[in-house]
Amino acid sequence: MAASPGPAGIGGAGAVQGSGPSGFGFDSGLEIKTRSVEQTLLPLVSQITTLINHKDNTKKSDKTLQAIQRVGQAVNLAVGRFVKVGEAIANENWDLKEEINIACIEAKQAGETIAALTDVSSSNHSEPGGQITIFTDKTGVIKAARLLLSSVTKVLLLADRVVIKQIITSRNKVLATMERLEKVHSFQEFVQIFSQFGNEMVEFAHLTGDRQNDLKDEKKKAKMAAARAVLEKCTMMLLTASKTCLRHPNCESAHKNKDGVFDRMKVALNKVIEIVTDCKPNGETDLAAIGIFTGIKEFKANIEALPENLYFQSKENLSATLEAILERTEDFTDSAYTSHEHRERILGLSAHARLELQQFTSVWIQAQSKRTKSIAEDLELSILTISHGLDELKKELHSTATQLAADLLKYHADHVVLKALKRTGVAGNLEGLAEYACKFSEQKEQLVETCRLLRHVSGTEPLEITCVHAEETFQVTGQQIISAAETLTLHPSSKIAKENLDVFCEAWESQISDMSTLLREINDVFEGRRGEKYAYLSLPKPMKNNTNLKSLKPDKSDSEEKAKIAKLGLKLGLLTSDANCEIEKWENQENEIVRRGRNMSSMAYSLYLFTRGEGPLKTSQDLIHQLEVFAEEGLKVASSVQAFSKQLKDDDKLMLLLEINKLIPLCHQLQTITKTSLQNQVCLKVDKCITKTRSMMALLVQLLSLCFKLLKKLQMENNRWVSVTKKDSVDALF
């Protein structure tokens, strides 16, 4: 069951009103209520289980009897709340209604039975001597407790099916809209469909974010995070890539660029469904080889179990396992980027591990035939020796991979090649494009191979998955940057082609930043500073290791608040896309309303990047200053729209003024929030600011659309008046 907002991406609490698939409203809170009641109910059932384990002849004090009765009543009340939630879910899902209702009836009966059997005021508990005992019908209490657990589990499993069905339905809606987006031929049609697509992505992100938060399997959680990261970044890429294609329909590189985005999003959408349904298409299995560190961990566990059971493993199995591990070290020794010194040490340690395994096997065989204290000690010593040798190999591999990654990150920190690609594109320099595209491809391959090496030394399966995600992202995004740069070079005066290249370059820079965080996580695990769990490099960043918030550290971390902020952030990002689409419609791009609207959209996008730990805003002061300027710009937009309204008829003027009167108070409220003291409620303040900003952007989109329509109407009326005037003038001449 999904319960609380996970590190979800698009939208946030209250971002979407209305219902999702199957009429299940996002703001209904049914899932949260179910989880809340479940968490209240199960501990109480545990108390009942403890109570029924008393001795049959045990006599209780009045205080104990009252406590028992309170537990029984509390269970019954919790069951009542649980049943109401279950019935609400049943009413929204007719295909499961009968099953859920039956389970709810069983739960209700069990709750009432437990309440009755723990009621000390009942005469059923009185003995002839006047003494009161409890649980005369002990069998009945046991049956009721079992029925309660069984029925509650049924409801939760059925509700889980509802959530899975919602995610699948939402995915299908997104795919259907994507197919329409792929086939559009006019910009107007694209704007309309993309707006729908944005709303559907918000819905999908809500559902998958909650699901990610509730997944217990860390591997699945990391896979979900990776898939959702792809969808988040590709949503922004899809907008500019599609606009570039529409602007340059005969450009092959533009179509290649756009198709790459669509293909990657489809793969990510299908990956999410694989995770939530726990199945692979056509019965496929995950054949990806595990990392070397994971293999070493399993190998050591196997040999350390041998003293307890000398026949736990076969000699052949152990030898094959070690060979598989050492074979994977060839990724390091065959790499052109591994230094000669590291390569020699890895080869030496690998040969030493084979030799130590032979010696260990000899002692092991002796221990199987002669069970003496001396042989047992030799076996223990041999295990320690081979474990130490493998640990030395791990250190060398870790040093090789992390040193290479650190050097790469430092070398590419200034993004010289990316900047050169942009310059050659704007200059229309095809020869320069070929030169820098070649250099960039080399950089991409180096990063891809480094991610592959980091995967081997990541130390945990979730981090391995994150390394694979980084490897794929560099591979795909690198190719897309080259195609985007080619499009710009062929059309150097195209603003949309330049914007498109900028978006892909930002995605590349973002992945470089993620790789830096990933490297820190891997070092933390290796040095024992972190356990198995860690903050995923996923959609959306819950502001973990976020440089933007270093100066905003509260005394107490609140991951739910941070996740909520990140949700609000991506909704804000999508609203900037909606605003830009509305701005594109205007013929006069220097119109005051358009100019102010573009400024607001640009600032809102910077705020969105802040929630991801990216962009120009680095400190709390940067954020506050940006919000202050944003509020001021909002008031200027209101003033510009008010000036425009003076040209309109009364009805149209009133309609526009009503919208302005919604925007102005929001601007003043945002100014007030920015002036309040931070103290220790950082996340709360950022949450409020982003929420207000999001509301202002939603109003801006409406205002831009309304002003555009009213302007067109005004122009038509003016043209009609001019036409009539000319006709009257001509008639007067004759």
More confident residue, 486 or 10: 486
Alpha helices per DSSP H over 248-339: 252-277, 292-304, 315-328, 330-333
Q: State the distance between the two ends of the chain, measured CA to CA, in whole angstroms.
A: 82
Q: Which of 645, 619, 613 is nearest to 517 (CA)?
A: 613
Compute the CA torsion angle 604, 608, 611, 617 (nearest 10 deg): -60
What pLDDT sits at residue 428? 93
Determine what percent of the chain falls in helix, strand and coil, rounding each to the nearest 5. 80, 0, 20
Contact call for residues 659 and 703 (beta carbons, < 8 A): yes
| Residue 550 DSSP one-character state | G
3 state SS of 503: helix
d(CA 405, CA 447): 8
Helix (H) or strand (E) run with residue 458 in it: none
d(CA 260, CA 243): 14
The sign of the torsion formed by the CA atoms of 505, 507, 513, 519 equals negative
d(CA 210, CA 230): 17
The size of the chain, in residues, is: 734
Contacts 24+ apart (CB under 8 A), 65-71: 65/120, 65/132, 65/134, 66/120, 68/118, 68/120, 68/134, 69/118, 69/119, 69/120, 69/121, 71/44, 71/47, 71/118
3 state SS of 524: helix
Q: Mean per-residue pLDDT for 478-493?
A: 95
pLDDT digits (tens, 9 = 90+) for 239-253: 999 999 999 999 999
d(CA 223, CA 673): 38
Q: Which of 615, 513, 623 is nearest to 573 (CA)?
A: 615
d(CA 450, CA 431): 29
What percent of the chain shows pLDDT beyond 70? 79
d(CA 245, CA 186): 10
Which residue is associated with the tokens 């069983």?
106
d(CA 334, CA 356): 24
Contact call for residues 272 and 6 (beta carbons, < 8 A): no
- SS3 sequence of 689-727: HHHHHHHHHHHHHHHHHHHHHHHHHHHHHHHHHHHHHHH
pLDDT digits (tens, 9 = 90+) for 335-344: 999 999 999 9
Q: The tokens of 391 are what?
A: 């640990």
| Residue 59 DSSP one-character state | B
- SS3 sequence of 349-394: HHHHHHHHHHHHHHHHHHHHHCCCHHHHHHHHHHHHHHHHHHHHHH
The CA-based angle 58-64-66, given to 5 degrees, is 125
Question: Residue 133: beta bridge partners?
Answer: 59
Question: Residue 132: beta bridge partners?
Answer: 126
What pLDDT sits at residue 45? 58
In degrees rounded to 5, what are phi and psi of residue 508?
-65, -45
Q: The tokens of 242 are what?
A: 């599609």
What pLDDT sits at residue 19? 30
Q: How confident is the model at residue 72 (pLDDT cuts 50, 70, 90)?
A: confident
Q: Which residues contact 588 (CB under 8 A, 6 or more apart)?
A: 594
d(CA 408, CA 516): 10
What pLDDT sits at residue 295? 86
- Asked whether residue 725 carries a pLDDT value surpassing 70, the answer given is no
d(CA 573, CA 157): 35
- pTM across the whole model: 0.64
Q: Mean per-residue pLDDT for 584-595?
A: 85
In degrees rounded to 5, what are phi and psi of residue 132?
-110, 130
What pLDDT sits at residue 287? 41
The sign of the torsion formed by the CA atoms of 33, 39, 44, 49 equals positive
More confident residue, 65 or 550: 65
3 state SS of 561: helix
What pLDDT sits at residue 688? 80
Q: Which of 222, 303, 261, 109 is nearest to 539 (CA)?
A: 222
Please provide the DSSP assignment of 615-640 as one string: SS--SHHHHHHHHHHHHHHHHHHHHH
pLDDT digits (tens, 9 = 90+) for 254-280: 999 999 999 999 999 999 999 988 876
Q: The tokens of 710 are what?
A: 């009213």
Residue type, position 4, single letter: S
Q: Which of 543, 546, 537 is nearest to 466 (CA)?
A: 537
Question: Residue 19: beta bridge partners?
Answer: 25
More confident residue, 213 or 68: 213
Domains of the chain: residue spans and CATH: 35-120+136-161 (1.20.120.230), 167-277 (1.20.120.230), 292-405 (1.20.120.330), 561-721 (1.20.120.230)
Q: Specify the range with the lowest mean pLDDT, choosing from 309-313, 430-434, 444-448, 518-522.
A: 309-313
Judged on CB neighbours under 10 Å (0-12, 13-18, 19+), 375 is middle
Q: Mean per-residue pLDDT for 182-186?
A: 88
Q: Mean per-residue pLDDT for 226-235?
A: 90
Q: Specify the range with the lowest mean pLDDT, choosing from 295-304, 387-396, 519-528, 606-615.
A: 606-615
Q: Mean per-residue pLDDT for 399-404?
A: 94
Q: Specify the range with the lowest mean pLDDT, choosing from 194-208, 661-675, 716-730.
A: 716-730
d(CA 421, CA 437): 7
Q: Which of 225, 522, 224 is nearest to 394 (CA)?
A: 522
3 state SS of 585: coil
Compute the CA torsion angle 512, 515, 520, 526 (nearest 10 deg): -150
What pLDDT sits at residue 25? 30
3 state SS of 534: coil
